[in-house]
Amino acid sequence: MTTPQNRQPKGINTGGQFAADTHAESTLLLDPAHREVILSPGDGDTFPELADGDVIETLNVSRSEDGSGYFVSPAKTVNIKDLIADSDPRLHGETLDSWLETNSPVIEDFLAERYQANLTTDEGWEEIGVECTAQLPEGPLSEARVVDAAWNGTKIVQLHNESDHGSFGSENLGRLIIERVNGSTVLVDPYAARAAGLRIDPAELDTTLTTGSPVSDASAVAIAKQLGNLRNTRGVIAYPAVGRLATRGYVDTTAVDLELGRIQTANDQAIHPDPQLKRRVEAMQSWIHGHTA
């Protein structure tokens, strides 16, 4: 018989409602039998009897097309509007709705990255679906192994603790989102700016940058597209934070400052520094400063 999930007593500040170091050998609040889970390659199934309904609301298991492994995907819904309103009372009603709409790419990317998850946003900010996934190698798959992977192999417990208004000593997801938004620079009109910026050719951009005029959002997008496509010696995108302005309509200000500094240093140390690249870096720095000043 498996050990029940150790629920952290309220009021004890030891790492969350479900403490991160207490469930390594546990499963759910249930006691799943060690029955074998049989799935053909490419198939999947839902296991509601293995979800506790609180930390894990739904639990899906699928097998890879080539039969080489399994994907265990616990999921839950989170009310982002309540989390934000509780963390900052100034954000409520229409003000909150506008804030969420403006910063939606920042929030979506933050949630996906922090919890290594896929998001479902069809139901609005009151009911964001967050699905985490653990990958298991090919081999006998039991219900107990599924449950262990869901609890211990994904960040679903971390999500649950942090979305519970940061209680029990865990981080507060509402505050974390606000901090990420405050640390980002977002296009005022992302659709128009990205559409215009992606149409600017390099020659046109050079002419614009030599006039000394303030850098427009469209020009910033055009620069981000070019710098974001630069690759390192291994062929990997070297400056993803800069490129995000062209792909997602915002940048993490601190991360971009670091990347622009790296680009500028590498260019300054080159045998033949590229004046065009220097202008682009300075223009991007000017654009960010204009939005954060």
pLDDT, tens only, 63-88? 999 999 999 999 999 999 999 999 99
Mean pLDDT calculated for residue range 183-202 = 91
Q: Is the pLDDT of residue 7 over 60?
A: no
Pairing of strands 117-120, 128-132: antiparallel
Q: What is the pTM of this model?
A: 0.84
Q: Does residue 36 belong to any structural domain of this protein?
A: no
For 44, the token pair is 């999947």
Q: For residues 159-174, give the mean pLDDT.
A: 87
Query: Which structural domain range is residue 52 located in?
Result: 44-182
Per-residue pLDDT averaged across 282-292, rounded? 89
Q: What is the pLDDT of residue 184?
A: 96
Please give the pLDDT value at position 210: 84
Instruction: Tell me: do 268 and 140 sit in the same domain.
Output: no
Q: Which of 158, 182, 206 lies at the terminal end of a domain, its last residue?
A: 182
Claim to verify: residue 195 and residue 127 sit in the same structural domain: no
- Determine the pLDDT at residue 168: 72
**CA nearest 151: which of 74, 79, 225?**
74
| 54 and 133 inside one domain | yes
The pLDDT value given to residue 21: 40
Is residue 29 in a domain? no
The answer to whether 74 and 53 have CB atoms below 8 angstroms apart is: no
pLDDT at 46 over 90: yes
Give the pLDDT score at 201: 86
Query: What is the per-residue pLDDT across 213-234, written as a single tens digit (0 to 9) for each?
Result: 889 999 999 999 999 999 888 8
Query: Do 119 and 142 belong to one domain?
Result: yes
Statement to judge: residues 175 and 204 lie in one domain = no
Q: Does 250 lie in the same domain as 208?
A: yes
Proportion of the chain above pLDDT 70, given as a percent? 88
Report which of 277, 284, 268, 274 is spatially closest to residue 224, judged by C-alpha positions. Answer: 284
Q: Give yes or no: residues 235 and 281 share one domain.
A: yes
Residues 171 and 221 in one domain: no
- pLDDT of 233 reads 83
Last residue of a domain, one of 160, 182, 204: 182
pLDDT of residue 14: 39
145 & 265 share domain: no
**214 located within any domain:** yes
Give the 3-state secondary structure percentages of the chain, helix then strand then coil, rounded to 5. Answer: 45, 15, 40
Tell whether 82 and 95 lie within a shared domain: yes
Number of domains in the chain: 2
pLDDT for residue 59: 97
Comparing 10-24, 57-71, 77-91, 152-166, the range with the smallest average pLDDT is: 10-24
Out of 182, 211, 232, a domain closes at: 182
Q: Are residues 145 and 68 in the same domain?
A: yes
Amino acid at the residue 164: D
Does 172 share its domain with 212?
Answer: no
